[in-house]
Amino acid sequence: MALQNSNFMIRLSDNVLMVNDMAGLVSRLRRRIPGFASVGVLTDRNVEETVIEQTGLLQKISSSAHMSVVKPGEASKSLTVVEQLSQEWLEAGMDRNSLIINIGGGVVSDLGGFAASIFKRGIRFINIPTTLLSMIDASVGGKTGVNLGGAKNQIGTFSRADEVIIWTGFLKWLPSRELKSGFAECLKHAFLQGGEALRLVNHGLPADPATLASLVEASVKFKDSVVNADLYEIGQRKILNFGHTVGHAFESASLLANAEPWLHGEAVAAGMLVALRLSVRVAGLSPDFAAKWEEFILNNFSIPKTCGMTSMSLMQFLRYDKKNVGNSLRFVLLKEPGMPLFDQEIAAESVREEVELVLSLLS
Ligand SMILES: NC(=O)c1ccc[n+]([C@@H]2O[C@H](COP(=O)([O-])OP(=O)(O)OC[C@H]3O[C@@H](n4cnc5c(N)ncnc54)[C@H](O)[C@@H]3O)[C@@H](O)[C@H]2O)c1
């Protein structure tokens, strides 16, 4: 589809739009909603109390939408919550001609996208991401899902949002820890692209809203180009898992630990520390490059303390990783910036050694 821009929005891809202001967002939604018999809005309590109340978004788009509000946080990504939501939607009379609008971070788009993709065998949904991470990553790309037994994203579908509408103005309410978490995925995209993309992130998280919006635009376009070439992650899309193999293990371990759970981006930042080291070890990445960016990650992401995590406990989580086949551990590595390699099999003991070293950097 041709990319059509207007004074209030630019089209970043066939299903991703970026609007300049609240009026642009409202105008776009008002154009979409009349095509559906009923509308359900899903959000979490924090987003409802900050973003939705402050902007009056719901009153501006629909007075009759059925509103569902879940608890903020990973615990809402569960089959139990999917069942509760589906029950609510049934009772609200929603059917195959209903639309779900997910307003929130990655938890809301993963949960709402998954529930919509299986409700009545699949109904349409729009994502309105309100965190940096969901703008550049979670809400784009068509992966939905929930956690199972403490392990991340074990149940899910590939199901693309009808539309993703990004307004970076929402980020003014986002706590800085959450902003940094999203910036980790921007950094991942930059490692995968190299060149100009790495220069864009070199100075850390942009404080200026216009520069941040440009970073979001570039990051979304990159993710979308990778996803479009391989929606079902048979090949090249696997590169987007850079830092995620061990990242998911850190994230899962922190959910069980007796401390504040790590944010997704914090876990990915820690996972990239391991992936950079493994890249030097087996893929020929320059040690100077890895050392420079290791320091950057340690200085820019305030990764939480590891609270009793051990290399052995983290290795336990790696066996759940969907990228592994049998007992081998598969990684995305960097040969050079902009030159990722996927399906790189690495001996578990080498991984454990690097995890151990990274744990010592973080403790
Ligand atoms: N499907 C995918 O491709 C994909 C990719 C990356 C991550 N994810 C998933 O995304 C989730 C993490 O997403 P996230 O980082 O957006 O976290 P999140 O959805 O938990 O949101 C972070 C916190 O910020 C609050 N919040 C959201 N927007 C706000 C705003 N504008 N102002 C103030 N508070 C706001 C939320 O209530 C929440 O407390 C994880 O579950 C991860 O697995 C999915």
Q: How many domains does the chain have?
A: 2
Q: Is 157 in the pocket of ligand 1 (CB under 6 A)?
A: no
Give the position, in ligand 1's atom list, of the atom nearest the Cα of 131: 28
Q: Which residues is 344 bridged to in the sheet? A: 331
Do both 188 and 326 map to the same domain? yes
Q: Which residues is 126 bridged to in the sheet? A: 101, 163
Do both 256 and 154 map to the same domain? no
Do both 155 and 247 map to the same domain? no
* Nearest-CA residue for atom 15 of ligand 1: 133
Q: Is 214 in the pocket of ligand 1 (CB under 6 A)?
A: no
Q: Is 237 in the pocket of ligand 1 (CB under 6 A)?
A: no
- DSSP characters for 58-125? HHHH-SSPEEEEE-SSGGGSSHHHHHHHHHHHHHTT--TTEEEEEEESHHHHHHHHHHHHHGGG--EE
* Nearest-CA residue for atom 4 of ligand 1: 138
Q: Is 178 in the pocket of ligand 1 (CB under 6 A)?
A: yes
* Nearest-CA residue for atom 22 of ligand 1: 105
Q: Return the axis-axis angle of helices 264-278 and 244-256, rounded to nearest 10°.
A: 140
Last residue of a domain, one of 124, 147, 174: 174
Do both 160 and 259 map to the same domain? no
Do both 79 and 225 map to the same domain? no
Do both 118 and 158 map to the same domain? yes
Provide the CATH number for the domain around residue 343. 1.20.1090.10
Q: Is 46 in the pocket of ligand 1 (CB under 6 A)?
A: yes
In angstroms, what is the span from residue 288 Cα to ligand 1's centroid? Answer: 33
Distance CA 254, CA 234 (A): 29
Report DSSP state, residue 325: B
Sign of CA dihedral 247, 252, 254, 255: positive
HSE, side-chain direction, 13 A CA sphere, residue 95: 4
Last residue of a domain, one of 174, 203, 223: 174
Do both 182 and 247 map to the same domain? yes
Distance CA 358, CA 336 (A): 21
Last residue of a domain, one of 129, 149, 174: 174
Q: Is 77 in the pocket of ligand 1 (CB under 6 A)?
A: yes
1 within domain boundaries: no
Do both 334 and 220 map to the same domain? yes
> Identity (one letter) of the amino acid at 155?
I
Residues with Cβ within 8 Å of 118's Cβ and at least 6 positions away in sequence, in order, are 82, 86, 157
Do both 217 and 236 map to the same domain? yes
**pLDDT confidence of residue 326:** 60
Do both 169 and 307 map to the same domain? no
Q: Is 337 in the pocket of ligand 1 (CB under 6 A)?
A: no
**pLDDT confidence of residue 328:** 74
Do both 231 and 114 map to the same domain? no
322 within domain boundaries: yes
42 within domain boundaries: yes
**Structural domain boundaries enclosing 21:** 9-174
Residue-by-residue pLDDT tens, the chain, 363 positions: 444 566 678 999 999 999 999 999 999 999 999 989 999 999 999 999 999 999 999 999 988 999 999 999 999 999 999 999 999 999 999 999 999 999 999 999 999 999 999 999 999 999 999 999 999 999 999 999 999 987 788 999 999 999 999 999 999 999 999 999 999 999 999 999 999 999 999 999 999 999 999 999 999 999 999 999 999 999 999 999 999 999 999 998 998 877 788 999 999 999 999 999 999 999 999 999 999 999 999 999 989 988 889 999 999 888 766 556 566 799 999 999 999 999 999 999 999 999 999 999 998
Do both 151 and 193 map to the same domain? no
* Among 20, 341, 334, 32, residue whose Cα is nearest residue 168: 20
* Nearest-CA residue for atom 8 of ligand 1: 138
Could you tell me where the DSSP H helices lie in 306-347? Answer: 311-318
In angstroms, what is the span from residue 223 Cα to ligand 1's centroid? Answer: 17
4 within domain boundaries: no
3 within domain boundaries: no
Q: Is 24 in the pocket of ligand 1 (CB under 6 A)?
A: no
In angstroms, what is the span from residue 43 Cα to ligand 1's centroid? Answer: 11
State how far the alpha carbon of 223 is from the alpha carbons of 54, 90, 152, 218, in Å.
Answer: 30, 34, 21, 9
288 within domain boundaries: yes
Classify 149 as helix, strand or coil.
coil
54 within domain boundaries: yes
* Among 296, 316, 341, residue whose Cα is nearest residue 248: 316
As given in the structure block, the two tokens for residue 259 are 């401390």
As given in the structure block, the two tokens for residue 279 are 């890249």
Q: Is 294 in the pocket of ligand 1 (CB under 6 A)?
A: no
**pLDDT confidence of residue 5:** 60
Distance CA 139, CA 144 (A): 9
Provide the CATH number for the domain around residue 112. 3.40.50.1970
2 within domain boundaries: no
